[in-house]
Amino acid sequence: MSNDVYTDIWYDVIPLHHRPELVKECCKLLNTEWPRSETARLKSLKVSCDDFPTCLVLLDRESRVLGHCKVSLIPKVRHSCYIESVVVDYKSRAQGLGSRLLRGTEEYVARKGFKTVYLITKGQELFYIKNGYTICDPIETCGYRKFLPPTTIVEAKQKEKNTLFSGPPPPPMPQLVFEYFDIRMLSQKTHMVKKL
């Protein structure tokens, strides 16, 4: 068995590029959850490689694709990666397969030297909490500003204090009163992290 395969009694998690004949089946699975043109979807799946991004698939003993997730690098954040497009076939849900897919993905990235896994979710927070993830501040996952690491926020505030402005200061911001306010409430998506 390859070092890039997570196996238990009934299921394997393997890189999709090791089984290119499964790309079309994986495309169908992803398009059932997030519809997209087949051409665009196939193009995004065919970029899977050992050097990242890597698409991982959950297979049963008959080599049917039951789940998928994609792992990408995070620029400027050492030993960290970003998991996206986590999906389990609709007919196979509520059987623990999402957790098996995550465990296999975490073992795969741990063997590659990653120590921290980030993801974004909308509505599946309890599933990820059950699998050891915690809510975190946003981080930057790619070349454009999608997340901001907490250290960057601190550095930005410090830089703002040290910057000289010409003219009068702006008027104070209105005071908003929320009894249970959390800045993450402003986003519809939840940022999560797990230390491996």
Confidence at residue 108, expressed as pLDDT on a 0 to 100 scale: 96
Identify the structural domains of the chain with CATH numbers, from first to last: 9-141+186-193 (3.40.630.30)
Q: Which residue has the higher pLDDT, 164 or 24?
A: 24
| Mean pLDDT value across the chain | 84
Q: Which amino acid is at 180?
A: Y
pLDDT at residue 7 tops 90: no
Confidence at residue 160, expressed as pLDDT on a 0 to 100 scale: 58
* Residues 139 and 147: beta-carbon distance below 8 Å: yes
Q: Say what percent of the chain tops pLDDT 70.
A: 74
Token pair for 162: 């040290």
Query: Rounded to whole angstroms, how far apart are CA atoms 82 and 76?
Result: 12
pLDDT tier for residue 147 given thresholds of 50, 70 and 90: very low
pLDDT tens per residue across span 157-192? 565 555 555 667 777 776 655 555 455 455 588 999
pLDDT tens per residue across span 87-125? 999 999 999 999 999 999 999 999 999 999 999 999 899
**54, 48, 64, 52: which is closest to 11 by C-alpha?**
64
